Amino acid sequence: MGEIKSALEIALEKAERLGSISKEELQVQKWEEEGKKKAAAFLKEEIESLQQGLSEIPPEYLQAALKGVSEVLLRNVMLPRDKSQWETINRSFQGLKEVKGSIAEQIVPQMEYILKNYEQTLDSYKQQFQQQVQASLGTNAQGGMMTMSPEEMKALASMQEEWNKISGEISSQFEKQLEPLKAYLR
């Protein structure tokens, strides 16, 4: 069984780790965090442009801030589970183009293609799966849960598990396509 540490012990360990970090490394971490905050503000449309947000960063720490910005923007380029996520994804693309320039101008369309292809693929599989569910459950599925027998409820639960597996596999395939492009922009 693991040892339970008091808040004081945890604080002392953290202070010890911080003591082993140089002042320069602390500054780099500080400005990287600031970059993350600027990217979050950009995504929330609290600032109009990242250039505007990064203008107050000391030049010697601009790379650290840009690393933080890129991390947040790339984290928000994700496989869209619903249409509402596109607003954040597109804003992330805009920010990446702003901070990465021509390299992002080349990579972002490829990422966008993958995300749209993912959406289309998932929708297609979903429609096919819904047709299979309706066919296997018959007309009772049309009437809703109230008219379903316990056997049909079990079958529906089994089908839901199957759908989760299928959609997970599809997501995994598209994540594998997206990851190298994200890595290229880091």
| Residue range(s) defining the domain that contains residue 186 | 81-186
Choose one of 35, 60, 75: the last residue of a domain: 75
What lies within 8 Å, CB to CB, of 26 at 6+ separation is: 18
pLDDT at 80: 95
Choose one of 75, 93, 120: the last residue of a domain: 75
Which stretches of the chain score pLDDT less than 70? 1-3, 5, 11-12, 14-20, 138-148
pLDDT at 110: 97
CB 153 within 8 A of CB 38: no
Clarify whether residues 55 and 97 are in a common domain. no
pLDDT at 165: 94
Clarify whether residues 54 and 99 are in a common domain. no
pLDDT at 155: 77
Q: 5-45: per-residue pLDDT in tens?
A: 677 777 667 666 656 677 888 888 999 999 999 999 999 99
Distance from the Cα of residue 9 to its chain's centroid: 34
pLDDT at 19: 60
pLDDT at 20: 66
Two tokens at 22? 């140089």
Choose one of 23, 53, 75: the last residue of a domain: 75
Q: Is the dihedral of CA 128, 134, 137, 141 positive or negative?
A: positive
Number of domains composing the chain: 2
CB 80 within 8 A of CB 111: no
Clarify whether residues 108 and 50 are in a common domain. no
Q: Could you identify the residue written with the tokens 């780099």?
A: 28
This prediction's pTM? 0.77
Clarify whether residues 89 and 176 are in a common domain. yes
Clarify whether residues 21 and 70 are in a common domain. yes
Clarify whether residues 117 and 42 are in a common domain. no
